[in-house]
Amino acid sequence: MDALTAIASRHSTRSFTHQPVSRAQLESIVDAGRHAPTARNDQPWQFVVVAEGAARKRLAELTEGGGAFIADAPACIAIFCKAGKYFLEDGCVAAQNMLVAATALGLQSCWVAGDKKPYAEAVGTLLFAPEGMKLVALLAIGYGTSGGQPTPKKPLAEVLHWERF
């Protein structure tokens, strides 16, 4: 699947089958995050793949309902960044690359916020994140129970401006 098709067809999925995601697929997804642009080329990120069922269940519990589906997804990728001026921007760009990569590989995904959430520190503790690392997001990854469709987006003419607003 080409990049533009993957971007246009990506959508959030909160219902997953039990079909496992291969280690090679997960490595490809994380590699896409690693290739994201980053301020001053800091590359502040670290990625933790959580495929073990009990750990995913605990992550789901920590998100206070907002990420309950993590328990059912075959994998979850936690994105951490070293605290710094642009950690959130850098981590979000990596997350977007990873979400698009999952779509390109025929997988579905859903983003769960991390930064500024009350559970961020507990997730870091659960995953043994080193001091100074900030949780940016949790990405549930797997095969969706249905094909699903992207949510409607505003027309290009409504959001595109040339030369000035």
Q: Where are the domains of the chain?
A: 3-159
Q: Given this model, what pLDDT does residue 150 score?
A: 81
Assessment of whether the complete model's pTM goes beyond 0.75: yes
Rounded Cα gap, residues 133 and 3, in angstroms: 30
CATH topology (fold) of 3-159: NADH Oxidase (3.40.109)
Can you give the pLDDT at residue 151? 86
**Residue 49 and residue 98: Cα distance in Å, rounded?**
12
105 closest CA partner among 144, 79, 73: 144
For 19-127, where are the alpha helices, taking DSSP H only? 23-34, 53-62, 87-104, 120-126
Q: What is the CA 10 to chain-centroid distance, rounded?
A: 12
What's residue 101's pLDDT? 98
- Sheet bearing 75-82, strands edge to edge: 45-50, 75-82, 133-142, 108-113
What does the pLDDT profile of the chain (165 residues) look like in tens digits?
899 999 999 999 999 999 999 999 999 999 999 999 999 999 999 999 999 999 999 999 999 888 999 999 999 999 999 999 999 999 999 999 999 999 999 999 999 999 999 999 999 999 999 999 999 999 999 999 987 778 899 999 999 999 999
